[in-house]
Each structure stands twice: as structure tokens, then as C-alpha cells.
Amino acid sequence: MVTKSPRPTESEIAVLDALAAQGEVVSAGAAGGVKGFRTRLRFVDPLRRYVVVARSGDLAADAAFMALARADFFVEWGEWRIAFAAESPEAVSHDGAAAIRLRFPETVAISRRRMLESSPVPDRSLRCVAYSGAVAVFEAAVTDISQDGVSLQIDDAGDALHPGMVLPRCRILRDGRDPATVDVEVRHTAVITCDGGRRSVRAECRLANLSPSAMALVAEFAGAR
């Protein structure tokens, strides 16, 4: 079963306050939507009703962004990786400047950046299948792997993945080997354009609760000794 993180805690909201106070640049987008929209978090409503971000300065990009139903924001801040999601962007004026207001984030995910060196996985030789009960939700190619995380590329994810999601008991598949079981936590998603113009979703994920076979598989590909 796919689960989401609970509503943001006060400590997580305090991190958003700090990002706004320091004017940190954040990237935003949505699966199938805007790619590479960069902005700054301007204001976090103390009553937890909305947040305000700056306009990008590109009228077309701003209009496309405001046409989204939901936006996923991401920033790497020191050793931390911060992701949050918010809905219903609309044009507003904030402190006398044109800005964009969104509903208060429904999720905030804060984690340490992957610190261990990752290794590329050639020729889509590893695949990750996520399940909801007995039903496969999606299958993704594993593009690189380390001892604490993986990068996944999904062609038909739609809006099924969001930062903070936990996908329990995923199966890592390799031809000629038994499936390896692992929990996957989605840290960040982004839309990428592949050869031929095909668009895919790239998800950076943390690995947890690795089965013995999963630990052996990760060690083999990540070059652990």
C-alpha cells in the first residue's frame, strides 16, 4: 500500500520559515507539467493557510506554473534535502510585488542528502516494481544506486509519486535472480526529457528495510566490500 507522510510538523514548518527568511531558491514542477521552474519562497502564513513564492520573471513560465493543480518544490540546503508540495497556485501581490500564492503545503519531507557515492546501473539491468497490495502500481528502471538510495526513471507514473511517499516492499528485479525486497521513500521527483522528446519522471529515493538479497544486490552494484 502506498502511504503519504502526515501533515507537516511544527519543526518542518520552521524549516520553511527559514527558507523564506533567507530567500533560498527552490525548484518546482509537476509530473507532466512545468519543468525547471525556479523561484524563491517569500512568505509562510503563520496561520497555516497558504505560502507565497516569487514570480520567476518569465511571463510564459509563470502562466504555465499557475495553470498547475499541484506543484512539487525541492531545494538542497547545506547537507539537507527539502521537498514540499502545495496546490492551487494563483497570482497575488505580496509586499507590493507580483507573486504566487498556494495552499499551505500538504507534505514536507526533510532528509539528509545522499552522502554515499552512487554507481550507474547499465542497460536497465535493474528494475523496481512498486505494489499496492497484490497489484503492481508501476515499474521503473533503476538508473543509479548506492548503499542508501536509488534513482528511478518511470515512463508512466502520471502524478502517482510525491516527495515523502513511502512505497513498502518494492521488488528489485534482475534477470536470472530472485526478486529482492526493499522499502522505498521518495525524496524528490522531476520531469526529464529523453531522446526523441519522450518525457519521464525521475525519482530520487532512499532505501530502507533491505532484505538480505537486497543488501547483497546493492553491495554488488555499489561496489561495497
Residue 38 lies in a domain: yes
| 54-68 exposure pattern, b = at least 16 Cβ within 10 A, e = fewer | bbbeeeebbeebbeb
Indicate the range of 42-46, 91-95, 171-175, 188-192 predicted with least confidence. 188-192
Instruction: Identify whether residues 60 and 153 lie together within a single domain.
Output: no
214: number of Cβ within 10 Å: 19
Q: Looking at the 3D structure of the chain, how many domains does it have?
A: 2
Residue after which a domain boundary falls, among 64, 89, 112: 112
What is the value of pTM for the model shown? Answer: 0.51
Residue 4 lies in a domain: no
Instruction: Identify whether residues 130 and 96 lie together within a single domain.
Output: no
High-pLDDT (> 90) share of the chain, %? 25
Show the beta-strand stretches assigned E in the chain: 25-29, 37-44, 50-54, 70-77, 80-87, 90-94, 97-103, 107-112, 119-120, 127-132, 135-145, 149-154, 166-173, 180-193, 199-208
Residue after which a domain boundary falls, among 47, 79, 112: 112
List the domain range (segments joined by +) for residue 20: 10-112
pLDDT given at position 154: 87
> pLDDT tens for residues 92-144?
999 999 999 999 998 888 765 555 567 788 777 899 998 877 778 888 999 98
